[in-house]
């Protein structure tokens, strides 16, 4: 029997460590999570954030900061150890790749174990009635419908998953409508150049009666403030809620984030987001005046 130490800076759970835990427990080993002072026979560290790369001492390293590192096949095939994080749901991949290659996304840097379709039963535990799909882009899977049919047959609820709205058509919208979700259905609108595909997907969702979804809006990457507000306005027009995801932290982006992401969401009562933003900014005396350049960009002068 060996003492195994698993370390990570992942805030919620770490799938790779959960699979390592399963394999080592099958060998009769004792496994400890985030107990750095324990005297271990072997230590694994899975690092999510770049600033933590030097903060962990381990025998083997992995995670998104080490994109070339993959689990050995005999460990990759293990079911996750859900007791490691005391989860109340299953999690895993039915399809791992995303072929979009977006400049701002780290997924393209990862070396994927395979490009095959997988059944939920490779990782799902029957004791759970909820499942978290970690797929990077479910609808790029040619067998995406098999995943939905397995979820429907098992009467599972889906949580923490987003879909590529650019790929939505009538069939996919109806599949989403038929599926039970915990919390919001999630989508994203990152680039202005995708407007035509985004609005097409929005129309299919709306026609299927899918509303009140959360749409992540990437702000400050290659869009202006006008384009950020415009995208939010379109999303609201289809009865969904935008959520600003800042790419940079300019004052303009921060203000837009604070306005759109406000828990009060009082702007839902307004028809024009641009006008509502200006009123909000004028009425918020705690905010410092914008620079002349930003005032000009936001057309507040």
Domain-wise residue ranges, the chain: 1-78
Residue 286 pLDDT more than 60?
no
Q: Where are the beta strands (DSSP E) in the chain?
A: 3-8, 30-33, 42-46, 60-62, 90-92, 130-133, 157-159, 180-182, 186-189, 214-219, 241-246
Q: Where are the beta strands (DSSP E) in 176-223?
A: 180-182, 186-189, 214-219
- State the Cα angle at 97 between 94 and 99, rounded to 5°: 140
Mean pLDDT of 159-185: 95
Provide the CB-side half-sphere exposure for 116 (13 A, CA). 6
42-58 tens-digit pLDDT: 999 999 999 999 999 99
Give counts: helices (H), strands (E), the chain: 9, 11
Whole-model pTM: value is 0.87
117-162 tens-digit pLDDT: 999 999 999 999 999 999 999 999 999 999 999 999 999 999 978 9
CA separation for the pair 59, 43 (Å, rounded): 5
- Strand 90-92 versus strand 130-133 pairing type: parallel
């Amino acid at each position: 029997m060996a003492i195994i130490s698993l370390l990570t800076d992942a805030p919620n759970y770490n799938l790779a460590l959960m699979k390592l835990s399963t394999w080592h427990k099958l060998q009769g080993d004792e496994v400890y999570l985030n107990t750095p002072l324990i005297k271990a026979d072997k230590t694994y560290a899975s690092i999510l954030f770049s600033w933590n790369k030097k903060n962990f001492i381990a025998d083997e390293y992995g995670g998104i900061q080490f994109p070339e590192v993959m689990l050995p096949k005999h460990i990759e095939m293990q079911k996750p150890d859900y007791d490691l994080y005391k989860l109340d749901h299953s999690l895993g991949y039915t399809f791992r790749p995303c072929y979009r290659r977006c400049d701002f996304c780290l997924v393209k840097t990862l070396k994927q174990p395979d490009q095959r379709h997988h059944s939920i039963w490779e990782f799902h535990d029957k004791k759970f009635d909820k499942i978290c799909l970690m797929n990077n882009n479910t609808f790029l899977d040619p067998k995406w419908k098999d995943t939905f049919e397995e979820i429907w047959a098992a009467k599972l609820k889906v949580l923490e998953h987003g879909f590529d709205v650019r790929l939505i058509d009538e069939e996919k919208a109806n599949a989403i409508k038929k599926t039970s979700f915990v919390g919001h259905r999630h989508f994203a609108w990152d680039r202005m150049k995708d407007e035509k595909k985004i609005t097409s997907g929005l129309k299919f969702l709306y026609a299927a009666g899918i509303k009140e979804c959360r749409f992540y809006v990437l702000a400050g990457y290659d869009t202006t403030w006008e384009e950020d507000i415009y995208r939010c306005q379109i999303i609201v027009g289809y009865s969904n809620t935008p959520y600003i995801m800042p790419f940079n932290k300019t004052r303009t982006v921060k203000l837009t984030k604070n306005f759109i992401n406000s828990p009060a969401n009082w702007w839902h009562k307004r028809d024009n987001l641009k006008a509502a933003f200006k009123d909000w900014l004028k009425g918020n005396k705690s905010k410092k005046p914008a620079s002349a350049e930003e005032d000009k960009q936001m057309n507040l002068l």
